[in-house]
Amino acid sequence: MGIARFGRGAGAAAALAALLLASGCSTAQTAPPRAAPAAAPVAAERPNVLLILVDDLKPAIHSFGDPVAVTPNIDRLVARGTRFELAFANQAVCAPSRMNLMTGARSTSSGIYDFGENLREYMPNAVTLPQYFMAAGYRAESIGKTFHIGHNTVGDPQSWSTTPYKDHVIEYVSPEGKALGKTREAALFNEFEIPKGDVWAYARTLGRGIAWESPDVPDEAYGDGRVAAKAVGRLGELKAKGQPFFLAVGFARPHLPFSVPKRYWDKYDRAKLPLPSFERMPDGAPAFAGKVGGEINAFAPIDPETREADYPEELKRTLIHGYYAGVSYVDAQIGKLLAELDRTGLAKNTIVVLWGDHGYHLGDHAIWTKHTNYEQATHLPLVFAGPGIGAGQATRQLAETVDIYPTLAALAGLKVPAGPQPIDGTDLTPVLHDPAARVRGYAYHAYPRPNRLGQAIRTERYRLVRWTQEQTGARDYELYDLVADPLETRNLAAAQPEVRARLDALLDSQPKPKPTQRLTRAPATKPVANP
């Protein structure tokens, strides 16, 4: 069945609001919450929320320790708040990771591990993060890429007070890019009206896009520039409404293709950009733990028959250059949002969260995108700033994407979220007051392979990945010492059985994971084509 669409009836909405505010528990709910709960009485000082989501953003940020990244605006946000140096995706792929964020539930709790596995088909009664704020009297809006839309995955319209604004993820403005016409990745992202049937099969009939372009155009020539402009305009309008708001703003770059205005490419000297440091799988790692090809092969001039480690050096440099150009482009868009917060006076009463949906390999382990359980794919930037949050702080507290939901609820003075979906996250507010505080000694993430589930525990020093064969229960392990071996070059699972056993016990203490097999259902409803 496709995703259910519900009306905006005020009666059920008011009941949900009363339930949340009175008891902090939504487990009595028996039907999916409606799109725009009626406003409940809200304290005048209740903070607004600006949630900034960036696709494929690893901590390639100057204030996170990357010496080559040109990110003055994110650095300014970091100076205003608390950065988490050890924050991790619960799963290193766009659609499930965003489900983790919006529901507070890990993929292993929801069963959503892949594209085409839609929220209301797996958790029909879930109260998403923006819904939770709507129930408390907030207006919730989405601009840009928040939920992943594409690859047979649809959005969640009942999570917002009004229709979300969606812009392009795959877009070319150079003459050579435009000349390509319809490309396979554009089809997968629903950038144009697509025929009925299997979108993956249809996409395979189309040509490839180009992996990068650098035309001399204004920011608004691409979707991210338009998203920033739309969000800047809405901030002033939302302030005028006088109702607290939850505004989610999502940017597509540095996701492929690296289609970025020339001036952001010009910020970097390609010869000085770092090349991959370790271009093979870890010694002793199971072969199925890695990734070959995939998304990178959807773009020219990539040769699908060439091993990633064997790409010509000039190609590697160009891909890395394009990624960093994308980071700086998005940094400039974030700067526009921060400037508008300052201009309107909203900064003093707005909690700002910056989150990358997962990391990115950039050639390390001979992998160029994500979709693994390794550090490069799972490590993400996370920043909280605003009222009640310490400024200029850095913490080594381990954090997960699912922690954002309960942390934002606590910062806004709302009751502790209670579902009805599993809320796997931990409230990080003690760390926002004192970066030396600790609320949990590890982060958890997972990634599946055919017939196997890889569950991982990441401590400040180690990562253990336990691969379980779902039919037989057979297990394989990977153990890495991230202090002695930050590039994860050697699997220590056999050499350090005591550490393996200790971290394995932590995995055993987690909720039992849902199987990776898809639900049996009809194809998902095809999302509306891009405007």
Give tens-digit pLDDT for 474-505: 999 999 999 999 999 999 999 999 999 999 99
pLDDT of 393 > 60? The answer is yes
Residue, of 81 and 1, whose pLDDT is higher: 81
Predicted confidence (pLDDT) per residue in 292-310, tens digit: 888 999 999 999 999 999 9
Residue 515 is predicted with a pLDDT of 95
The DSSP element (H or E) to which 16 belongs, if any, is helix 10-23
Residue type, 39: A
Give the Cα separation of 400 and 10 in Å (integer). 34
Q: How far is CA 174 from CA 170, 375, 474, 498, in A?
A: 13, 35, 51, 56
- Which pLDDT band holds residue 24 (cuts at 50, 70, 90)? very low
Give the Cα separation of 174 and 213 in Å (integer). 7
DSSP secondary structure letters along 19-56: HHHHHS--TT--SPPPSSPPPPP--TTPPEEEEEEETT
**Catalytic residue flag (residue 25):** no
From 25, 148, 321, 361, the catalytic residue = 148
Predicted confidence (pLDDT) per residue in 428-464, tens digit: 999 999 999 999 999 999 999 999 999 999 999 999 9
Give me the chain's average pLDDT, please.
90
Residue with the two structure tokens 């891009």: 530
Give the Cα separation of 488 and 520 in Å (integer). 38
Residue 27 is predicted with a pLDDT of 29
Question: Percentage of the chain with pLDDT > 90?
Answer: 87
**Catalytic residue flag (residue 168):** no
Closest Cα partner for 464 from 515, 506, 402? 506
Residue 45 is predicted with a pLDDT of 76
The H-assigned helical ranges of 345-474 are: 375-378, 404-411, 429-433
448 three-state secondary structure: strand
Handedness of CA 475, 89, 99, 417 (dihedral sign): positive
From 62, 94, 168, 361, the catalytic residue = 94
Give the Cα separation of 381 and 364 in Å (integer). 18
Residue 128 is predicted with a pLDDT of 98
pLDDT of 162 > 90? The answer is yes
Residue 6 is predicted with a pLDDT of 28
Structural contact between residues 227 and 249, judged by C-beta atoms closer than 8 angstroms:
yes
* Average pLDDT of the segment spanning 317-330: 98
pLDDT of 85 > 80? The answer is yes
Task: Spell out the SS3 assignment of 118-155.
Answer: CHHHHCCCCCCHHHHHHHCCCEEEEEECCCCCECCECC
Give the Cα separation of 209 and 530 in Å (integer). 18
Structural contact between residues 141 and 164, judged by C-beta atoms closer than 8 angstroms:
yes
Residue 407 is predicted with a pLDDT of 98
- Which pLDDT band holds residue 272 (cuts at 50, 70, 90)? very high
Residues 6+ apart with CB under 8 A from 57: 254, 327, 330, 356, 357, 360, 380, 381
Residue 197 is predicted with a pLDDT of 86
* Average pLDDT of the segment spanning 278-298: 95
pTM as predicted: 0.90
Cα 412 to chain center, whole Å? Answer: 22
pLDDT of 522 > 50? The answer is no
Residue 518 is predicted with a pLDDT of 77
Predicted confidence (pLDDT) per residue in 219-260, tens digit: 999 999 999 999 999 999 999 999 999 999 999 999 999 999
Residue type, 175: P
- Which pLDDT band holds residue 125 (cuts at 50, 70, 90)? very high
Residue 450 is predicted with a pLDDT of 94
